[in-house]
Amino acid sequence: MTLLKKSLTALMLIAVFGVGITGINQAFAQTLNNNAQTNIVAICAIALSNPLGFNFGDLGQGETSSEVQVIIDNTGSAVANISVQGNGLGWVDAVNTLQMVHDQSAYKDFSGTFASKQPVLPTNNFALASAPTTLETLFFQTQIDLINPLFTGAITHSIDVKAVCI
């Protein structure tokens, strides 16, 4: 098997060296006469004011949290469509048991009541368009409606804020 590989390599080298010298010089001369070109692309980038997450505080069954503001800084050079998506099961406890569904969290690009906000869903949902070098704010809230109203303890929910250049 090793001998065969060496033979194939030798054949390929022969094929490369078999190209006429004139052909190589012409290709080289053409390359020197061409103009260099590049495309400058827009950069899509955002920075979040609280990239490690946020805490709605201690709440009981039926209570609504205060709003948590997430400031989005469009640090790129392109307009970015900002979307929000809930990941995983929804609100889960320490052993990953579902305690509350996704849509008990909500967001909007203006301050208001929980009812005025869009629910966080497990699909990508458009939130706002952000122009380059601008700051935008999303307001998040949660309303506690536990599957088991007797549950106590910490619950978490993974929420993605994403940017797509347009």
Mean pLDDT on 33-61: 81
Dihedral of alpha carbons 54, 163, 74, 43, sign: positive
4 against 151, higher pLDDT: 151
- Mind giving me the DSSP string for 45-92? -EEESSTT-----S--TT-BPPPEEEEEEE-SSS-EEEEEEEEEEEEE
Count of beta carbons in the 10 Å neighbourhood of residue 124: 13
* 59-110: pLDDT as tens digits: 999 999 999 999 999 998 999 999 999 988 899 999 999 999 999 999 999 9
Q: What is the pLDDT of residue 54?
A: 86
The answer to whether domain 46-165 has CATH 2.60.40 is yes
Residue ranges matching CATH 2.60.40 in the chain: 46-165
| Confidence band, pLDDT 50/70/90 cuts, at residue 52 | confident
End-to-end CA distance of the chain: 52
Q: What is the pLDDT of residue 67?
A: 96
